Structure 1
Amino acid sequence: MIPEKNSCLVSIIIPVYNAERYIAETVQSCLNQLYTNFELVIVNDGSTDGSEAEILNFNDSRIKYFRIENSGSCEARNFGISKALGQLFQFLDHDDVLDANKLSRQVNKYQEFGDDYIYSAEMGTVSNTGRTKGRGYELYEKNFTPIEYFETLFNQFGKCMTTGAWLVPEKLLKSTHGWDKRAGLNDDGEYFMRIIVNSSGIVFCKAALFFFRRDVPNSLSKQFGTKDVYVKWLYSYKSYVKHFIDAFEYSKAKELGWKALSVYYCASYPKYPDLLRECRSEMKKLGYNKPCAHGGDVFVKTSKVIGIMLTLKLWYLRGKAKFF
């Protein structure tokens, strides 16, 4: 179905937790949108800092503000969905920002292609020094079928579309269940994977800019400090496998599922051998005995010469040697 022009309410959903340093800029970037038919659903996920005061400084009838007990960003987003009235959904993290043209460019494409597609944007970064167009995301700046998108995602290293880049029609949002906290740090990848496999494809919207923040004081080493994080991370990629098999031709689904599991294996090796064994067991169900190489160019080239398992061991020892 192609909607009539200018009829679409966009629901922007922002979960907020202890974001007093950034939330005002994030909210203002939404209020600055040239496309004005939107509601801004802000869900305060039990913040203990001054986030609420920053939010209440704004006086705009399009803002819907809710405060809930701390439940995590997935539950906060799901709560936001339950309160939203839009035909299109923009999810945004509490420290990221939208360019003023972001929604207008994407809604224009939506008017053209309709609600069987999900809409992507150009990616950039924001920090205390300003906003910059991102490098390395050019490979995503085109239209994709779902299979083409996942082939691109798994055949490169270190770059992916993140939460705020997407605009999701209500039809696709309702085609799957909500945000899944069991996916942990990959909750956004797992959620949008489910949306994408249920879509007819991805429509790229040129000059629709989204900026994710790079100067947040939250180290990756701290985020990956417990086994539970890895359990959830593996869960997310097992979810990819399930939904690929449900959506795609079986041989292609198995190949993509293997590549998804390989992302986990290569990135987590050698931590938690029991989880690595579980990951390889899932690969064997798909007909693959070992992971494929997922890493930088040198890593991939080395694996072609000496094999993936020896390359993983070598990279681990090389990284360990840096600390001596």
Structure 2
Amino acid sequence: MSIIMPVYNGEKYISEAIESVINQTYTNWELIIVNDGSKDNSLLIAEKYKNEKIKVFSKENNGASAARNYGYRLSTGSLIKFFDADDVINKEMISAQVTLAMANPDCVISGKWGRFYNNDLSNLDLRPEECWKDMESIDWICTSWKEGKSMTQSGIFLIPSTIINNTGLWDESLSLVDDLEFFTKTILASKKVIFSPQSMLYYRSGNENSLAGQQGRKASESCFRSMELSISYLLNKSKSNAALLSAANIWQSFIYHYYPSETDLVKKAEIYLTTLPKPTIKFPATIKTKGLIKIFGWKIIKRLKKYI
């Protein structure tokens, strides 16, 4: 199996990520590290680990999706894990997922995940999700999206290369939320999603170089386009009540997040909502703010927050 690790200015964390691969109980893997034009010491650190199993390549900066695609084209494994250079996996993860993948051909294998802060794995914030079980692919997407958000961080999953070859690689035009587009089309092309309770991804929060921290117009447009594509993939497969409602909640979460800063994109999302059921997710707010929302509405409250 092949692990593909893009890195951009990840000198603080890449050693920990690589060590978590080296420490796996499963040993029949290759790690392909793609340095995406880092300006720090990421490449030098990665090259210290270089051997017959750990291969290091460097390319000009063109984004994480392009780096993942570059690495995939160099990979030789029939099972693929895309793994970010600031995260960590538990030592049993790959063994458990490979075992399930061999027993369940053409399925995507998932696992657990939790956030950790201040570079301290002991303060893991683990919140079990309804989709942490074996599910039909469409049901997994609908369940994952039900609350208007989806966690498809790449290191959680193990994917047969045959599925990637059939559905296509990462969309290099996307930056923010590129994982949503990739994993929606990938999971929908699989037979099922099989859950591995022994597999854990430790997701680092607070990294200033992570894609999740991106802001600005380009990031907003990428988020919108990724949601637009992902929803189209789902609704082309199913227009069940669950699919339509999950799509509505995804759009509503976009509106809550980007109003009023990206009014044109919010308007487009609101137009999409007119063709879907009424969203069921509420504007995220404290108890005090919820009272104000009942009086003034969430849009006025969010506008006021800019000045508070």
Pairwise same-fold verdict (TM > 0.5):
yes
Deviation at 1:252, TM superposition (A): 5.1
* Corresponding residue number in structure 2 for 1:13: 4
Amino acid at match of 2:104: F
Change (3 A) 1:231 1:53: same
For 1:230, the equivalent position in structure 2 comes to 220
Which residue is 2:59 aligned to? 68
Q: C-alpha deviations, 1:144-181, integer Å up to 9, x for none?
A: 22232233223336662422111111122122121113
Aligned counterpart, 1:5: none
Alignment CA distance shift 1:158-1:135 (3 Å): farther
User: How many residues in Structure 1 have an aligned counterpart in Structure 2?
Assistant: 305
Measured in 2, the distance between the counterparts of 1:157 and 1:235 equals 16
Kept in 2, the 8 Å contact 1:123–1:133? The answer is no
Whether contact under 8 Å (2:64, 2:175) holds in the other structure is no
Is 2:272 the counterpart of 1:282?
yes
- Of 14, 29, 32, 2:20 maps to 29
SS at match of 1:41: strand
Aligned to 2:86: 95
Q: How far apart, in 1, do the equivalents of 2:34 and 2:53 lie?
A: 14
Q: Distance in 2 between matches of 1:254 and 1:238?
A: 13
Aligned mates of 1:48, 1:234 — CA distance in 2: 29
Q: Which moved more, 1:235-244 or 1:56-65?
A: 56-65
Q: How does 1:171-320 map onto structure 2 within 5 Å?
A: 171-217=162-208, 223-224=214-215, 226-249=216-239, 253-284=243-274, 286-287=275-276, 292-296=280-284, 311-317=297-303, 319-320=305-306
Equivalent-residue separation in structure 2 for 1:274 and 1:291 (angstroms): 20
Which amino acid is the alignment partner of residue 281 of structure 2?
A
Query: How many percent of aligned residue pairs carry the same amino acid?
Result: 28
RMSD (CA atoms): 2.8
TM-score normalised by structure 2 residue count: 0.88
Q: Deviations over 1:14-62 (max 9, x none)?
A: 0011111111111111111111111101101111111111111114310
How far did residue 191 of structure 1 move? 0.8
Residues 152 and 179 in structure 2, CA contact (< 8 A), matched pair in contact too: no
Q: Secondary structure at the match of 2:174?
A: helix
Residues 56-205 of structure 1 correspond to what in structure 2 (within 5 A)? 56-115=47-106, 117-126=107-116, 127-156=118-147, 160-205=151-196
Q: CA deviation at 1:313?
A: 1.5
The superposition leaves residues 43-85 of structure 1 with CA deviations (integer Å, 9 ceiling, x where unpaired) of 0111111111111111431011111111110100000111011
Q: Once the two structures are superposed, what CA deviation does each residue of 1:189-233 show, in whole Å capped at 9, x if it has no partner?
A: 111111111122211101111111124235999722x22221111
Q: Which runs of 5+ in 2 are unaligned?
A: none
- Conserved 8 A contact 1:11-1:38: yes
Secondary structure at the aligned position of 1:134 is classed as: strand
Which deviates more, 176-185 or 163-172? 176-185
